[in-house]
Structure 1
Amino acid sequence: MNTAEIHSLIGPYVLDAVDDLERAAFDRHLRECDACRAEVDELNETSARLADGAWSVPPPALRDNVLSAITSVRQIAPVSPAPVHITAPRRRLRMITAAAAVVVAVAGAATVASVIQNDRVRREHDRAEAAQAAEARVRALLAAPDLVVREEPVAGGGRVTVATSKLHDAGVIMLAADAAPADGKVYQLWTIRSQQPVNEGALAPGQTTSVQVVNGMSEASDVGVSVEPPGGSKTPTTPLAADVKL
């Protein structure tokens, strides 16, 4: 992987959209590149600034902060295309002579590189379109004339902020915890509707921030944050780490 390619992984790396080989290569690169290290740190810290201060009415900076964070904060339950499995070149290597294997290996490597590169471009295009749609949705919600903002502290440090609009019958849940739960556990978001918990998504292990748009918020009485095993649970573990009354 050349210098230009490794630098282009900054965005996917922060979004956790790289495979194991790319992550290992970029981790090595970060140890040697001060500029990339600084940019990764800035992107990771952007979402934490959402938790600065406490307000009872929407602050002027809320809209700009969320729109800034939506491009750098990993969203819950990202949809990823199925991985590309390329096994045909290996099968050929076992069936042909050693001399022909050299030619097949060279051609196969070029084909694999092309497929991986094309798949990466397609994935980045899909993510860009999804990010634009999410940004437009958040922009509309935060511009609603009836926007109401509520927030509560998270046990262990941090805040969960909920901005809701009855006109849009939707809301934005913004979690900014100071640290991930211990023992490899994860944060999970919930809404309480008709006294029943509804799963709104579990964060990934180690993830401390999230910006999540939730529809049908007029039916919800609470937004909760619980600490669960990796992958989340069917019902929230109590006591909750945070409970925002709507």
Structure 2
Amino acid sequence: MTTEIHTLVGAYVLDAVDDIERASFERHLRECDSCRTEVTELRETTAQLAHDTWSVPPPWLRENVMAEVSRTRQLPPNVPDAPAAPPVRTPSRWRRLTAVAAAVVAAAGTGTAVFVVQDQRVRDERAVAEAARLNEARVRAILSAPDVKLSEQAMSTGGRVTVATSQLHNAGVVMLAGEAAPAGRVYQLWTIRPGGDPQNAGVLREGQTAELVVVDGLPGATDVGVTIEPPNGSPAPTTPMVADVKLT
């Protein structure tokens, strides 16, 4: 029997042999302690794929593993001259076998991770879509309320700010449509109430020139202001404001 049959260890464990190779290798296993040990160790590694966290692997998993097996050259073990001598496994061969097993586990883990990420992405997109739908419905309700009140003012930087308030909904809609803010600056919205400090009502992104915001309790405010601030906004308005819409 030639030593080439030893190279079938990895393929045998991964069920990548034909019927003739399987029968020959299984006969060889009855005679070779070294190969039996390696088969046992590799099976223990691949058995991790049956863990409870395993999900259906992606279609490309088997193809990738088979390609990796075909590229991985396995060296024959050191066959002892005397039966009493323990089998010796060369370090390079063991590293190659370990690499094949690691490739299987890594590929399976990747498939599970991809599934989890995609599933979470779908959930996130559905949540965003639902929030947008609810927000749009609320905007329509406020704008069509029988007691809606409109106030507006031009912005000193160009554009306008329009505010719609409804006592029935105890809320309002702030609509900003302006020119671009200076480089490195953003627009920030504020609500001003009697006896209180201005409250942040929203910070636009750099380059953003339009925004629509629903503000709860807006009928109780006296003003809606717009300022130019550093990115991410400021804790208090930077004066002078570029717009100050009077609500009363």
Tell me if structure 1 keeps the 8 A contact 2:179–2:209: yes
Distance 2:209 2:112 in 1: 39
Q: Distance in 2 between matches of 1:135 and 1:106?
A: 43
Specify the structure having the higher radius of gyration (Cα).
Answer: 2
Between the two proteins, the alignment pairs up a number of residues equal to 150
Tell me whether 1:133 sits opposite 2:134 in the alignment.
yes
- Report the residue type matching 1:173 in the other structure: V
RMSD (Å), alpha carbons? 1.7
In structure 2, what is the equivalent of residue 188 of structure 1? 188
Report the 3-state secondary structure (helix = DSSP H, G, I; strand = E; otherwise coil) of the residue aligned with 1:97: helix
Amino acid at match of 1:225: V
> Taking structure 1 as reference, are residues 97 and 205 closer, same or farther at Cα in structure 2, changes over 3 Å only?
farther
TM alignment of 1:54-203, pairs within 5 A: 97-179=98-180, 181-195=181-195, 196-203=197-204
Shift of 1:183: 3.0
Distance in 2 separating the partners of 1:107 and 1:191: 53
Higher relative contact order (CA 8 A, sep 6+): 1
Q: In structure 2, how many angstroms separate the alpha carbons of the residues matched to 1:142 and 1:201? A: 20
The residue aligned with 2:237 is 236
Percent identity, please.
58
- Aligned partner of residue 112 in structure 1, secondary structure: helix
- Please list every run of at least 4 consecutive aligned residues from structure 1 whose deviation after the TM superposition is greater than 6 angstroms: none
- The residue that corresponds to 2:213 in the other structure is 212
Shift of 1:137: 1.1
SS in 1 for 2:151: strand
Q: Distance in 1 between matches of 2:206 and 2:217?
A: 27
Q: Which residue of 2 aligns with 1:9?
A: none
One-letter identity of the residue aligned with 2:141:
A
Mark the runs of 5 or more structure 2 residues left unpaired by the alignment.
1-96
Shift of 1:166: 2.0
Check conservation: 2:193, 2:221, Cα contact below 8 A.
Answer: yes
Q: Name the TM-score, length of structure 1 as normaliser.
A: 0.57
